[in-house]
Structure 1
Amino acid sequence: MSLASDVRALWHLAGFRRLTYQRLLSQGGDGMFQVGIAAAFFFDPTTATSPEAIATGFAVLLAPFTVVGPFVGPLIDRWKRQRILLFGNLVRLVMVGAIVAALLADGPLWSLYVLALLALSVNRFLLASMTAGLPRVVPTDELLTANAVLPTLGTIAAAVGGAVGGVVTFVAPQVSDAGLAFAALVGAGIAFGGASWAATLLGRDELGPAHPLASGEVGERLRALVRELGDGIGYLYRRRTPFHALGVMSAQRLLYGLMFVASILISRSVLGDPDRPEQALGAFSLVVGFAAVGFGLAAVLTPMLGARVERQTWILWCLGVGAAGQVLLAISSAPWALLAAAVIVSCAVQGGKIAVDTIVQRDTVDEYRGRAFTLYDMVYNVAFVGAAVIAGLTLPDDGYSRTLMLVVALAYGAVALVYARAPRQAASIGA
């Protein structure tokens, strides 16, 4: 089946349609926002000129959310997820407005980092809420297809949003020294406003949880969050399959993150001119576009083979494909190798992620899904920050190291060998 036919098969579900509108607008805005942030933090010739500087940027933007994450995760199991989507996008709209104001006023770099950190933290919260709510609007026997379709449509929307952000970046007039980021951020704000509207199409109780927390109980529950999060970790560990799935996802994310940071540097130094940020950003946008093709392939292949291949086996195949993509970069740093690797590795990572999403949803009861997917987002970000730190310590200034690319390829194989020994069936325990 193709992505279009999978969408048609699910489109009769009203809840799926409404959640799709929300996801497309939200992640389309994400794409434009990420282009704006990349332009301001990673492609300005006066900043982020080395792997260490880029690693610092990623750490500042993502690492604090791993601290915030545990305290917002249980709320996904308590607060109405539709309200999270509505107000979360409104908060992001306000944050984008504040960033634009700071750019116009030539504000200090630290203020931009703080505002971007808040917006990105809310983004992870929203994605976890949408994923945790998906089983409420899609039957269990269609979850695999929905997990392939909805995140991939979101990824495509993010890529389109990034492309639109890149185009307006080049054609819009420079309104300040940071004008390279201005137009993309304005577009992101418009999309976030649209996502807030789309959230109103969903019923207040449509995404769950089944027993939301009453407003008067919020303070009491906040004091119990650490215990509840620990209980969630213990539950996933006892169930085995979701715990191991999160482990392999974090390993894939770390290895993909190394390639992502290298791609930024290669786009700046090899494919583009580091003194011409618009050219470097254009080169990186091309790499992201090819990566989007890989995500689309994963959306087609994963449901197509899902009825014949176990989820865990599919993850092992994806790890092997990821290793093959990295080998291309170990052979050459030429544009053809980078673009081909972007397609192959992105397909492998997205295919594995779809299977991991399904395993965690399938083997986790609804009362724990919010915590499960908040833990998912935490390890997702920790792995990416770890990748940035490793890249900062190991990559040369131009981003290309044949030795590191070969090590990453071998690491994919090592992860596959470890995961091959993981249990295939969830352990039977009480909720």
Structure 2
Amino acid sequence: MGSMTDLPDPAAPGGSRVARGLGATARATRRAGSFTMRTAKRAAEAQGAGESGLSRLIQMHFFNTAGDAAVAIALAGTLFFTVPSGEARGQVALFLGLTMLPFAIVAPLIGPFLDRFAHGRRWAIGATMAIRAFLCWVLAGAVQTESTWLFPAALGVLVASKAYGVTRAAAVPRLLPQDFTLVKANGRVSMSGIVGVAVSGPIAGLASLAGPEWVLRYAFLLFVAATIAAVRLPPAVDSSAGEGDLVLRGDARGKRTGSMRIPPAVAYALRANCGPRWLSGFLIMFMAFQLRENPIDGWSTEVLTALVVGGAAAGNLLGVVAASVLKRINPAVTVTAILLVDVGVVVFAFVLYGVVALALLGLVAGLGQALAKFSLDATIQRDVPHRVQASAFARSDTTLQLAWVIGGFVGIAMPIDPPRLGLGVAVAVLAAWAGFVLTRTPRRTRPEVQTGS
């Protein structure tokens, strides 16, 4: 072991250069971080988003998606790859089934319940964050000890994440800046989520070198920050002044003044969206087990899973970018085309099962899900009066979350032998649903709606 004299002397010329270099690096890093934060803040507050409070929702969504990305990375090598396949399938199916029923019953009641209590929405959004923070801490211990709490805690994180989508949907219309469309606002919120994944992914990857429990502790901190951001949302989030309900039947008795029946074009777009959302849930659950038990020759399970999931993430990013770039779209045509393309790409993957086909399937599924959702948002913004748009978004997000859960449950229930069987079932389900949707095409559709600024 060297003595103290072996250490560089800061007073010496070489030591002075090292000290100056370290100081310059620290100052440059601090300036770069400050510049990045200022730039991100300016972008979030641009065009009146700061004054309306939308910027706070954007910042909260950043932490939300950053936390979800960290959880996904932590569990990628734990939830499905360290437990025997049969046991994993049984436990995931059990807990997903147990959580689906209460979610289906409670979700439609969230909006009306919160409308009757001050500060309800902010605390409801915050609760979805706080629950995930607590469960991430539980998961960190369960991963280390291989506790039986691993699966229920992981499924609890998943359900809380889906519940967040429902509660957030009702908040966005209340924070719109002047001359903002709902589609534009949702697009900006989605972009903050993409940035959150891009920033958090590498950090979580580095933390995973120390073990998945450290990634989950990092996710815990992110969800704590998101909880604080949710509680600090503007009071306008809790206001329901002048709003009504969007009802599914003609009888609006017992509803608030201004309630109206769901427009046919919105109902059609919502039904069409259920197909891509069902496919998303199905692929995540089915491929997680399928690629583990039946990997394609020459490819590891982890790489194959990354290709499919990465393709879906890339497709989702392309969908957000496309929706931001396109000035006008025809929502009815778009959602119909996406539903039919999804059927076609699943047929392609079924016939030419392989790495390229599965990666393409993930890419198209992610792209279609994003574009279909933006088309639904555009239809709601066009056809639903402002006073009931919050109710419309809450109902649509609830329906889509349930479609995702049902798709995931079907994906878990599918046998993995032969490998193409599950994809064949997906083809049959999507084709049948497409036929059902197309037979209920609205009698007249308006040509185009504006999606950008």
TM-score under structure 1 length normalisation: 0.75
Q: 1:95 to 1:8 in 2, by over 3 A?
A: closer
Q: How far 1:41 sits from its partner (Å)?
A: 3.5
Greater CA deviation, 382-391 or 183-192? 382-391
Give the aligned partner of residue 424 of structure 1.
Answer: 445
Q: Distance in 1 between matches of 2:89 and 2:141?
A: 29
- Cα distance, 1:294 vs. partner? 0.5
Partner of 1:318: 338
Matched, 1:396 2:399: no
Name the CA distance, whole Å, in 1 between partners of 2:46 and 2:138. 37
Residue equivalent to 2:357: 337
Matched, 1:194 2:233: no
- Mapped to 2, the partners of 1:144 and 1:84 lie a distance apart of 23
What percentage of aligned pairs have identical amino acids? 21
Distance 1:380 1:358 in 2: 16
Q: 1:206 aligns with which of 226, 236, 241?
A: 236
For residues 60-111 of structure 1, give each alpha carbon's deviation from its aligned partner in whole angstroms, at most 9, with x where no partner exists. 454432233234332443443334334542333223223334444543x2x4
Structure 1 pair 182/63, CA: closer, same or farther in 2 (3 Å)?
Answer: farther
List alignment gaps of at least 5 residues for structure 1.
174-180, 213-226, 426-431
- Is 1:27 the counterpart of 2:48? The answer is no
Q: C-alpha offsets along residues 117-174 of structure 1, whole Å, 9 cap, x if unaligned?
A: 54444333332232222223334653222223323542563476466545644x224x
Alignment of 1:352 onto 2:369: no
- Please tell me the residue identity of whatever aligns with 1:146: A
Match of 1:381 in 2: 401
Q: Answer whether contact 2:268 2:437 (CA < 8 A) is retained.
A: no
Which deviates more from structure 2 when the two are superposed, residues 358-367 or residues 68-77?
Answer: 358-367
Aligned CA distance change for structure 1 residues 8 and 253 (closer, same or farther; 3 Å): same
Q: Establish whether residue 243 from structure 1 lines up as the match of residue 267 from structure 2.
A: yes
Distance 1:422 1:166, change over 3 A: farther
Written as runs of structure 1 = structure 2, the 5 A alignment for 1:8-407 is 11-12=46-47, 13-14=49-50, 15-37=53-75, 39-48=77-86, 54-78=92-116, 79-80=118-119, 81-107=121-147, 109=148, 111-138=149-176, 139=178, 141-155=180-194, 157-158=196-197, 161=200, 165=204, 168-169=207-208, 171-173=209-211, 181-199=212-230, 202-203=233-234, 205-211=235-241, 237-271=261-295, 280-281=301-302, 283-307=304-328, 309-365=329-385, 368-369=388-389, 371-397=391-417, 399-401=419-421, 403-404=424-425, 406-407=427-428
Decide whether the 8 Å contact of 2:315 with 2:366 is kept in 1: yes
Q: What residue number does 1:215 align with?
A: none
Give me the whole-angstrom Cα distance separating, in 1, the residues matched to 2:253 and 2:76. Answer: 33
Note the aligned Cα RMSD (angstroms).
3.9
Separation in structure 1 between the aligned mates of residue 85 and residue 106 of structure 2, nearest angstrom: 27
Q: What SS does the aligned partner of 2:170 have?
A: helix
**2: CA distance between counterparts of 1:182 and 1:403?**
38
Cα-to-partner distance string for 1:311-356 (whole Å, 9 max, x where unaligned): 2222122223323322331232211111122111210111001111
For residues 387 and 306 of structure 2, what CA distance do their matches in structure 1 show? 40
- For residue 410 of structure 1, give the secondary structure of its aligned residue in structure 2: helix
SS in 2 for 1:325: helix
CA distance 1:87–1:261, shift in 2 (3 Å): closer
Please list every run of 5 or more consecutive structure 2 residues that lacks an aligned counterpart in the other structure: 1-38, 243-250, 447-453
Q: Distance between the aligned counterparts of 1:32 and 1:422, measured in 2?
A: 46
SS of structure 2 residue aligned to 1:11: helix
The structure number with the bigger radius of gyration is 2
Taking structure 1 as reference, are residues 155 and 73 closer, same or farther at Cα in structure 2, changes over 3 Å only? farther
CA contact (8 A) 1:252 1:412 kept: no
CA distance, structure 1, for counterparts of residue 75 and residue 253 of structure 2? 31
- Does the residue aligned with 2:181 lie in a helix, a strand or coil? helix
Query: Could you say which structure has the greater relative contact order, defined with CA pairs below 8 angstroms and 6 or more residues apart?
Result: 1
Partner amino acid for 1:157? G
Contact 2:283 2:408 in 1 (8 A): no
Contact 1:82/1:202 (<8 A) preserved = yes
* TM-score (normalizing by structure 2): 0.71
